Amino acid sequence: MNRLQELHDSGVSIWLDTLSRDLLETGDFATLVDEYAVTGATSNPTIFAKAITESDRYDDQLRSLVSAGVTDTRELFFAMALDDVRGAAAILRPVHERTGGGDGFISFECTPDVADDAEATITQALDLWQRLELTNVLIKVPATDAGVSAIEELTAAGVNVNVTLLFSLERYEEVIEAYLRGLERRVAAGEPIAAISSVASFFVSRVDAKADAALPPDSPLRGRVAIANAHLAYGRYLERFAGARWEALQGAGATVQRPLWASTATKDPSYSDVLYVEQLIAPGVINTMPDKTLRAFAEHGNAKRALGSDPGAAKAVLSAAAAEGVNLKRITRALEHEGVKAFCDSYRQLVDCIEAKVSRAALVR
């Protein structure tokens, strides 16, 4: 726990990469916030599929909703999941207030079936934002082509956005630009921007999983490509949230779109289980960790700062990896596609589970 506090004190916000009713009702989430320096949490279709399919804690609410005439599967999911989001947001509210709105967020993702439809994403995100009516909630939007368009529109509408499934530097540039344009549109329209928050979730370990597969087994670059990619992303963050354009927005009350490291559990068992935490420490970033990684860092993590503003070493790693056959553009494109597909698969599993539970409830009656 002291190590996690040291990590927090170094400027890293520690968010839990899961959410469930079990965590909320047992008090485990509150304990993580109170004793483990956790200041936020994220959710996605895979997380909720696991939570709802593996627990009976949602069954009573599901029966009540069906008895009240709610039959649409998506609405049943939203009713249950949004209650969890509200519960987590309430626990995180003191953090949000203590940090002046800079931390203490819970994220909820748009359903993945709208990931490639900008208008549908905007419509659903606005609906979720209005239903929750909480300043410490972020609506997650994937960084697809359609998602980038939605990010600008939602920011212009005053919605807090967590941009998810970010893998490439090129897409990250588009995401930052969309956020800045959305803020500028609000300023031009005379709308306030001080209360708008956004984070950009840059996925890490999945990049190494593919890069390592393209490298020779004895390559010294194994386990280093994803960190180098994230290091350059952090450099872009420092560059774009500086200078005259940003200073004008900052003067109007804007806050930076913070970089968030996602997918930080180590996938290769030969690597340190805290590799993607220790190597990505820098002021102002967020690291979302699954419970296992969080507790591993609490036990043996080193909170020494690891990222700087000099991109030279990271560029050298990526250049050497390219010479050994790593096509990073192809990898990041594939990961974006696979990420959306994986969430779609989880969402279908979730829908099937809800429908099965509804059917069983009907038989019991």
Averaged pLDDT, groups of 10, the chain, 365 residues long? 93 96 97 97 88 89 92 93 97 98 97 95 98 97 96 98 97 98 98 97 96 96 97 96 98 98 95 96 96 96 84 95 97 95 91 87 49
Domain map of the chain by residue range?
2-364
Is 315 among the catalytic positions? no
Identify the active-site residue in 140, 267, 315, 341.
Answer: 140
Residues ≥6 apart with Cβ < 8 Å to 336 = 142, 143, 144, 165, 167, 168, 171
Note whether 40 and 12 are within 8 A (CB).
no
Q: Span 2-364: which CATH code?
A: 3.20.20.70
pTM: 0.95
pLDDT at 363: 39
Task: Give the pLDDT score at 361.
Answer: 63
- Measured distance CA(225)–CA(231) in Å, rounded: 10
User: What's residue 49's pLDDT?
Assistant: 85
Which pLDDT score is estimated for 358? Answer: 87
